[in-house]
Structure 1
């Protein structure tokens, strides 16, 4: 059971300060691969100085631009999808909700703190991993009959599972018939847009969350969007309140969403870089699955290997619920070389035994 009175802080990547303190290596000597953020983010143009002086304009057309970009009827701007996750329990009817055991860690505590019964699932690829879960999620089988809601991160972070839209919409139909909801977190789908279900959100019982931080490399902007039916949009708009996305962030996000040429070039770059990362990890004897943003290594020795990499100035994210490591993309050739040297030290000696 989750402690809803004093829930622990959920660990996340990007905690390089912790690594600096633990290993005594100056920040400038690290390469931080602990997040799945595009290391070649959008080149934000100069921001009008007036954006710092005025209250954010919630009627500046940004939401219309986002809706058009995502192919949805409407979009609600929020201060990162993390803000939306905290709002969701207040607008959904009570009932058991399925959340992946190996997935983005903020969903389970958000719903548990609101009194929902959270049931953890594993996908087929983890069914034989020994992880303790309440059920196995399989595309060809019906959802548990008592389940009211389901959260799917697609592609999954960090497990990399990717579900076809037809599968997601099939789960939605099952849940909607019970008065429930399918929540699809598409934080990493921008690189593979054909897997998005954003265009289907006019139906009740389907909510899609989209992030600016990952594909556009603008995590510091704290901006994202909720795509949903008119009734859910109204409820979340009321819960959100005004001025939740800062004016300078709105200007930067607007420019990024309108730059189709940069988006096309970036999809190509991410596909090539992630294939290179997967190949590099495989060469060092690791078993790899990957998305365009990161690679996942299921590794029973994850704690020792993370430590070995860190001692060579490479910081990666470790997961314990299913032991493994997530590797983000190196930003430049110096980072690639440093990763290769650290992998030789952390993996090759062991493989030679």
Structure 2
């Protein structure tokens, strides 16, 4: 059995920042996650969604809506957040002698495979994974935290050329980059698994909901390990509402696009170098990420730094113009003296 691993620090740890730097939650500008700052308007949830266990038909109906919303060819599996599936990925190839992870990326993939005793090899690109013949390959597209993108033709070509290898694609940040998505090939290509996060785009991370697109055999194994009623009735009700309201989705896209522009403008005016981005966050090169993070936190602005990329920070979207001004001026205050 493998040794216990230290937990990974993630964004969104506002209570820890408050314990260190003081203030009340409402006084902080929390830009430490890649979650949409605008929450989809919530529906009125039927009382039975709270009172009763969800019926199989409820989950099936929402999964069919998800298939159409994301552009899948086969019905996905609804899961209680894609993190729950990351924990189970080693079970898909339990005898694998190693896994190749396109890195740096979301750290829980490495943790999951190492915990299962499967060695991890870091590769810089998907093409670089081809020669090492690892039975499992993991790609986040767009990537977190640097926003790196791998064009769909390259992903598709790799999947088709390496049918003996399981290719796992995390599309948590692909809702606004559908041109990159491999959802339509998942399941049709039996060696491809695609994961989609519900909470990041819809601003509902606390709902804990995601969808996995893969072959029926893989989905069956995951469903068996997750057990019955893995996704709550209220989560299914919210998802059904979200997938059915094209008007609200369009409005959400417009708000994200505006916030993205406001955030980019604030960073440019503060002379911060943008190293990469997705529609939901920016990756910035600031020289010493941990030091800049602490300096910003002293002014109650929370961002994310990384051990694997010590020169960088990740900054989520500001919710409004006033927050953009606050970000710009705080960066101007702390950034020049830290270079």
Partners of 1:97 and 1:172 lie apart in 2 by 15
Aligned to 1:130: none
Match of 1:151 in 2: 138
1:286 counterpart = 2:244: no
Asked if 1:82 corresponds to 2:83, the answer is yes
- What's the CA shift for 1:327? 0.3
Q: 1:37–1:213: 8 Å Cα contact kept in structure 2? A: yes
1:101 aligns with 2:88: no
Q: Structure 1 runs of 4+ off > 6 angstroms?
A: none
Distance across 2 between alignment mates of 1:41 and 1:157: 21
Contact 1:274 1:290 in 2 (8 A): no
Q: Which position in structure 1 is the counterpart of 2:198?
A: 212
TM-score scaled by length of structure 1? 0.89
Query: Does the Cα contact within 8 Å between 1:85 and 1:107 map onto a contact in 2?
Result: yes
Residue 240 of structure 1 deviates from its aligned partner by: 1.8
The offset of 1:349, in angstroms, is 5.0
Q: Give ranges in structure 2 of 5+ residues lacking alignment.
A: none
Whole-Å separation in 1 of the counterparts to 2:200 and 2:56:
23
Q: Give the deviation of 1:146 after TM superposition.
A: 2.5
Q: Is the 8 A contact 2:101 2:122 kept in 1?
A: yes
Q: How does 1:30-41 map to 2 (within 5 A)?
A: 30-41=28-39
Q: Which residue of structure 2 lines up, in the alignment, with residue 132 of structure 1?
A: none
TM-fit CA distance, 1:138: 5.7
Q: Alignment partner of 1:208: what SS?
A: strand
Unaligned runs of 5+ residues in structure 1 are 123-136
**Count of residues in correspondence between the two structures:** 332
The answer on whether the counterparts of 1:148 and 1:175 sit within 8 Å (CA) in structure 2 is no
For the aligned residue pairs, the C-alpha RMSD in angstroms reads 1.7
Residues 65 and 257, structure 1, Cα contact 8 Å, conserved in 2: yes
Any idea what SS the aligned residue of 1:83 has?
Answer: helix
Aligned equivalents of 1:181, 1:296: Cα separation in 2: 29
Q: 2:11 aligns with which of 13, 17, 27?
A: 13
Q: Summarize deviations over 1:63-99 as a string: whole Å, max 9, x none.
A: 1111122222111000000011111111225132111
TM-score if structure 2 supplies the norm length?
A: 0.93
Report the equivalent of 1:303.
Answer: 290
**How big is each residue's C-alpha offset from its partner over 1:188-241, in whole Å with a ceiling of 9 and x where there is no partner?**
100111211100011111000000111011101100011001221222122221
SS in 2 for 1:189: coil
Q: Is the 8 A contact 1:298 1:322 kept in 2?
A: no
Q: Displacement, 1:348?
A: 4.3
Question: Which of 224, 236, 254 is residue 268 of structure 1 equivalent to?
Answer: 254
Distance 1:138 1:47 in 2: 43
2:183 maps to which of 198, 208, 212: 198
Measure the CA separation in 1 of the matches of 2:233 and 2:168: 28
Maintained 8 Å contact 2:126/2:139:
no
Q: Greater shift after overlay, 265-274 or 155-164?
A: 265-274
Distance 1:277 1:348 in 2: 19
